[in-house]
Structure 1
Amino acid sequence: MVSEKPEFLIAGAAKAGTTSLYHYLNQHPEIFMSPVKEPDYFGGHFWSLPLNDIYGPDPKLQIYQDWDEYLSLFREGKGKLKGEASPSSFYYFAEAIPEIKRRLDNPKIIIILRNPVDRAYSHYTFKKRDVKENLTFSDALDAEEKRMQENYHYGYFYKALGFYHRPVEAFLAEFSDVHIVLLDELQANPEHVIKGIFQFLDVKDDFEPSLDVVYNVSGNPRMKGLNKFLRKKNPFRDLIRPVLDVVLSEKSKTKLMEKIHQMNTAPKEPLENSTRQKLLDLYRSDIGRLQDLINRDLSQWMH
């Protein structure tokens, strides 16, 4: 009998490449990814909603806390290997893992990790790009504990999201099939990394997905007006959406939008050396423990 439940989860760190992995795997004819990229069921089934952002309570977040509603995301995937990609499952591992085991038993787990200093700054600039952050990076780091107390969405926890050792250790201890990917490797040799994931998932590894788009790139918008048009709801977008729905598939629309975002995104300003060193000092011990745990060379993260 074909299960409605997902058989694998991408549970990597936020802003470490989970969105790109989601879209690359979703191209495989044997794989079905949930139409909502981040349902957040396992990492968010216990959240007290609505969560806050810089504008106050945000009731528009698409979070699936009901099990049957979550399962409905996979009903169109009959006959395919089903998966989803919610970074919240990684950050809230202590709450997520028991629920994953209760609901899914022993799914395959893909964890993608990134230099935690780069991850933190990328996450911040991503929020700035989307007009969802109004503080400097230094002030946002200082405000993190207060935001935690005020029930902010975890996407504002720039420092806390970079501690990987404990969640990786927990996933390795609780699940028999865990595949760890480093963003550095994905960027350096995407074809090899994706083929390895296909082998891990036991689907045909000779399929070659389109890897020309990197999703959710952080940076500064070249044209702020275009960025606002693309990022904020407006009547004209609502008017042309039905036309695009007829002409393009959902996957094609997503790819087109990301290409436009990439063309309109200039590289972010370099992170100040003093702030980089401060974050590196914060993460150094955790990086060392992670390196020993997964037996991978992470020396490039140490400077």
Structure 2
Amino acid sequence: MHLPNLLIAGAQKSGTTWLHVALSQSKQVFGSKRKELNYFNKGQLGDIDTYRSNFPDKRGVKYYFESTPHYFRAIKGKVDIAERVSKTIPDAKIIVVLRDPVARYESAYIHHMMRGRFPYEPIIDNFSEDFGLIRLGQYAKNLTHWQKKMPDIGVFLYDDLLEDKVIFVDSIMSYLEIENDIRPEKLEFRRNDKSKKIKRAGWDQMPKMSPELRQKLYEYFQSDIDDLEVMIDRDLGAWRFDS
């Protein structure tokens, strides 16, 4: 049994879930059967041997990993996830997948609606800090904290996954410094079918964010987006509100 030497986190659940399935197609990478183990973000750390049992020895595997989106945050209360990771698996690589924070807010809000945490409404007009809706979208702040604890963090954008799955996975494998042995046809799968979600929820339509809330959120996240743009040396113009 192993401890993981790779963690996937980030602000977009569908992105981390997709990447978990994609990387598991490689003979060199082994992902935990249950994707979100939530080991490092609970009030108290669980049994390390139970955690280790998710990563059985596999011949030819260079990376053992799990994917828990909410690992990527700064300190919450007394829980410092980055500090816990640095003490448990200090040499691990960290992959974070980031999405436009306003689109992430909308997606997360709908997720919480489906779980009954917010009432259903066809138009989302609620600026809320509940369930980390704001905190988890402050990427520059969260990345700054993580970089103080872990030296090897690869930042990737959900936009690139949507643009070209093959190139996106190529970039991940390059970061891991291993040959990409995943055939392109293995990447043609869906992990986020909106029509099925609507049917399961019993809704007539998928909720949408109001233009007023969208603009308010873009204005709120603007300074953090500016900081992140510098930190990762990427043009994030697509994440800015175009009135």
Whether TM-score is above 0.5 comes out as: yes
User: Which deviates the most, 207-216 or 283-292?
Assistant: 207-216
Corresponding residue for 2:73?
91
Which of 113, 118, 124 is the equivalent residue of 2:103?
Answer: 118
Cα drift, residue 43 of structure 1:
2.0
The amino acid of 2:30's aligned partner reads: F
Corresponding residue for 1:277?
215
Q: Which deviations, in whole Å up to 9, do the C-alpha atoms of 1:140-183 show, x marking residues without a partner? A: x44x45xxxxxxxxxx3222221101221233343332211100
Corresponding residue for 1:184?
159
Partners of 1:25 and 1:11 in 2: how far apart?
Answer: 14
Q: Percent identity?
A: 28
Measured at CA, do residues 23 and 267 of structure 1 come closer, stay the same or move farther in structure 2, by a change above 3 Å?
farther
Measured at CA, do residues 266 and 292 of structure 1 come closer, stay the same or move farther in structure 2, by a change above 3 Å?
farther
| Structure 1 unpaired stretches of 5+ | 48-63, 146-155, 230-264
Cα drift, residue 31 of structure 1:
1.0
Query: Are 1:11 and 2:9 counterparts?
Result: yes
Partners of 1:17 and 1:28 in 2: how far apart?
Answer: 18
The amino acid of 1:268's aligned partner reads: M
Which of 125, 149, 167 is the equivalent residue of 1:138?
Answer: 125
Which of 34, 37, 45 is the equivalent residue of 1:39?
Answer: 37
Measured at CA, do residues 4 and 221 of structure 1 come closer, stay the same or move farther in structure 2, by a change above 3 Å?
closer
Does the 8 A contact of 2:72 with 2:136 survive in 1?
Answer: no
Cα drift, residue 65 of structure 1:
2.5
Corresponding residue for 1:109?
94
What SS does structure 2 have at the residue aligned with 1:110?
Answer: strand
Partners of 2:154 and 2:93 in 1: how far apart?
Answer: 8
**Highest Rg: 1 or 2?**
1
Corresponding residue for 1:74?
55
Corresponding residue for 1:212?
188
Measured at CA, do residues 281 and 217 of structure 1 come closer, stay the same or move farther in structure 2, by a change above 3 Å?
farther
Corresponding residue for 1:29?
27
Higher helix share: 1
Partners of 1:34 and 1:105 in 2: how far apart?
Answer: 19
Q: Which deviations, in whole Å up to 9, do the C-alpha atoms of 1:233-288 show, x marking residues without a partner? A: xxxxxxxxxxxxxxxxxxxxxxxxxxxxxxxx997344210010111111111111
Partners of 1:85 and 1:70 in 2: how far apart?
Answer: 13
Q: TM-score, normalised by structure 2?
A: 0.85
What SS does structure 1 have at the residue aligned with 2:11?
Answer: coil
Q: TM-score, normalised by structure 1?
A: 0.69
Q: Which runs of 4+ in 1 moved over 6 A?
A: none
Partners of 1:179 and 1:135 in 2: how far apart?
Answer: 36
Measured at CA, do residues 157 and 170 of structure 1 come closer, stay the same or move farther in structure 2, by a change above 3 Å?
closer
What SS does structure 1 have at the residue aligned with 2:172?
Answer: helix
Partners of 2:204 and 2:155 in 1: how far apart?
Answer: 30
Partners of 1:204 and 1:13 in 2: how far apart?
Answer: 27
Map residues 229-268 of structure 1 onto 2, 5 A cutoff. Answer: 268=206
Which of 235, 238, 241 is the equivalent residue of 1:297?
Answer: 235
**Number of residue-to-residue matches in the alignment:** 234
